[in-house]
Amino acid sequence: MRLHEITALAFLVKRFRGAMLAAALASIVSGVSSVVLLTLINRALTSDEGAAARLALQFAATALTSMLVGMFARILFQRLRQDASAALQRFLSSRILVAPFRQLEQIGSPRVVAALTEHTTRVTEFFVAVPNVLTNGAMVLGCLVYLVALSPRIFLVTLPFVALGAYGYHLANLKALSHLRAASAEQERLFERFRSLTEGAKELRLNRRRRSMFSDTVLRESIETVRRRRTIGMSVFVAASSWGNFLIYAFLGFVLFVIAGDIPDRARVLTGLALVMVYLVGPLQTLLLSLPEFNLIKVAAEQIESLTRSTAPTEHMPAAAPVATFRNLTLRGVTHRYYHEQSNEFFELGPIDLTLRPGEVTFIVGGNGSGKTTLAKLLVGLYPPEQGVILLDDEHIDAANRDQYRQRFSAIFSDFHLFETLLEASDAELEVRGNRLIGRLQLHHKVQLRDGAFTTRALSQGQRKRLALVCACLEDRPVMVFDEWAADQDPTFKEVFYHEILSELRLQGKAVIAISHDDRYFHIADRVIRLENGKLMDAEVAQRLRGSPSDRVTPIR
């Protein structure tokens, strides 16, 4: 059973049902033991001295049992909470890793982060709320059963009060839940704004008016909305709990001052009733205040379930296999359609007809918004084509083999992420090659590759891109894609990239695709492909670089 087929709570309960059952039974025993203590207290108050010793032993044994089983239940539920949190985070992480890339772009990182942090934490609070509900629920139910034993007539009088309290709480629950759902939705937007505090730090400091507007309007309003909605929702629950307490005292007053006159065995019954009612206030209040937590848990679970439905995997993920070389890679009639913010309309890339071969350097050029990066994402298999086909050595690429197809590419996009470790099987030879590349890119005085990880990533954007180039070269994939790699480099490293690295990759038999605006280097490419408004213009065949014999090139490996 998978999470997208059932609720998040059902997933966790099914996963940990054995431990949950043991903890639930212990919680119920603890609650029942508390009610037994109440009956022993009433018996001690109304019995003769001869029974005191026997009642004392029963009282001590019951109190010890209640304490031990209650402690066992709470410890077990706390352990379950941590285990459930880890299991849910592992599941969501694995789901995100295999979700279609385009869906992740549409969902956005704030929603993913909210699910992995706040919503996951909230859902696993279920394992803290459950013992409270079970223990106090057993106590409330036990008190009602004891009322039946004391006086069936009085118990029947309680039913209208119980019905009135339940109906009022139901109405409050509906009202509060709407506010809690609104607060949860706003919380995801608030995560995005919190991210702007760091990612937009430069812009906020350079523009005082923008900083003030962001702080005093955007951020404050979002925080205030979450605070107000949650405050209203929880306040409604508190009001409902107070209403329940009032009904208890109203019932007690009604019995004592209205119907108590003709009750048989009046002293024993009223003493027991008073004990039950006073004793019932605490468990009932705890029970009523625990129920709002379940509503918060329910809202968080709904957000997680919505995310899992939105990230349904559509591709087959086979086991790792060796990455083979290829003879040709062909795009035939490939199209992709997406919303273009600059023109406020849908933009269509294609149809694209293109063939790439090993040992060729291809430049993709064109204006901003012409579809260059989208074409690169289609090419590497991050986007499936909406029409047309991609063929690798005449094999049709589809959902069944797209993940294996992607393993032939190393890519550095303009919004690349630099991991702190290589994440591949690190060995001494790989580190030697990596540090040689780091030295060649003049980063050796700032960073080293040690134990499979970079000693620092606190570098400028251009330097981080050079480290990303080190990672891409160490991956040693048949196809290399560079999305404006040289845009953040100074002239020295542009020369190194275009005149040395691209030439070396060509000599190694790599198919290289470089998105570039550096027209002074276009002559280096075997082909220059121009995109305009998503359409492929006639390819221009460029002259290969001449006058630089291969024996003058320092090997990149």
Q: Which of 192-206, 439-453, 531-545 has the lowest mean pLDDT?
A: 531-545
- Where helices occur in 441-490 by DSSP H, the ranges are 461-475
Q: Which of 214-228, 291-305, 355-369, 431-445 has the lowest mean pLDDT?
A: 291-305
pLDDT score for 263: 66
- Nearest-5° Cα angle at 489, 487 to 492: 130
Confidence of residue 259 (pLDDT cuts 50, 70, 90): low
- Where helices occur in 214-351 by DSSP H, the ranges are 220-254, 266-310
Quick check: 335 pLDDT over 90? Answer: yes
- 45's CB contacts (< 8 A; 6+ apart) are 271
Confidence of residue 484 (pLDDT cuts 50, 70, 90): very high
Q: Which of 118-127, 338-347, 529-538 has the lowest mean pLDDT?
A: 338-347
E strand or H helix at 437, and its extent? helix 428-440
Kindly state the average pLDDT of the residues 61-78.
85
Kindly state the average pLDDT of the residues 321-326.
75
Residue type for 227, please? Answer: R
Confidence of residue 191 (pLDDT cuts 50, 70, 90): confident
Higher per-residue pLDDT: 392 or 431? 392
Burial 180-211 (b: 16+ CB within 10 A, else e): bbbbbbbbbbbbbbeeeeeeeeeebeeeeeee
Quick check: 507 pLDDT over 80? Answer: yes
- 26's CB contacts (< 8 A; 6+ apart) are 69, 70, 72, 73, 76
pLDDT score for 482: 96
Give CA–CA dist 19/72, Å, rounded: 11
Kindly state the average pLDDT of the residues 44-67.
78
Length of the chain: 557
Confidence of residue 475 (pLDDT cuts 50, 70, 90): confident
Q: Which of 142-146, 289-293, 399-403, 498-502 has the lowest mean pLDDT?
A: 289-293
Kindly state the average pLDDT of the residues 386-399.
92
How many other C-beta atoms lie within 10 A of the C-beta of residue 368?
Answer: 7
Give CA–CA dist 156/147, Å, rounded: 10
Give CA–CA dist 118/184, Å, rounded: 10
Give CA–CA dist 115/524, Å, rounded: 47
Which pair of tokens denotes residue 429? 């030879």
Kindly state the average pLDDT of the residues 162-183.
76
Kindly state the average pLDDT of the residues 194-204.
75
Quick check: 231 pLDDT over 80? Answer: yes
pLDDT score for 167: 73
Quick check: 121 pLDDT over 70? Answer: yes
Kindly state the average pLDDT of the residues 172-185.
80
Higher per-residue pLDDT: 96 or 279? 96
Confidence of residue 544 (pLDDT cuts 50, 70, 90): very low
Query: What are the structural domains of the chain?
Result: 3-310 (1.20.1560.10), 329-552 (3.40.50.300)
Question: In this structure, are residues 59 and 40 in contact, taking their beta carbons and an 8 Å threshold?
Answer: yes
Higher per-residue pLDDT: 402 or 246? 402
pLDDT score for 319: 67
Model pTM score: 0.69
Which pair of tokens denotes residue 79? 């352990």
pLDDT score for 409: 93
Give CA–CA dist 80/412, Å, rounded: 42
Give CA–CA dist 85/530, Å, rounded: 50
Confidence of residue 393 (pLDDT cuts 50, 70, 90): very high
Query: What percentage of the chain carries pLDDT values higher than 90?
Result: 19
Quick check: 199 pLDDT over 50? Answer: yes
Quick check: 318 pLDDT over 60? Answer: yes
Kindly state the average pLDDT of the residues 510-527.
92
Q: At what angle do helices 52-98 and 126-150 cross, to 10 degrees?
A: 150
Higher per-residue pLDDT: 344 or 189? 189
Quick check: 240 pLDDT over 90? Answer: no
Over the chain, what is the mean pLDDT?
81
Kindly state the average pLDDT of the residues 252-275.
68
Greatest CA separation found in the chain?
117
pLDDT score for 87: 85
pLDDT score for 384: 92
Higher per-residue pLDDT: 344 or 464? 464
Phi, psi of 331 (to 5 degrees): -105, 125
Quick check: 540 pLDDT over 70? Answer: no
How many other C-beta atoms lie within 10 A of the C-beta of residue 284?
Answer: 22
pLDDT score for 357: 93
Higher per-residue pLDDT: 365 or 306? 365
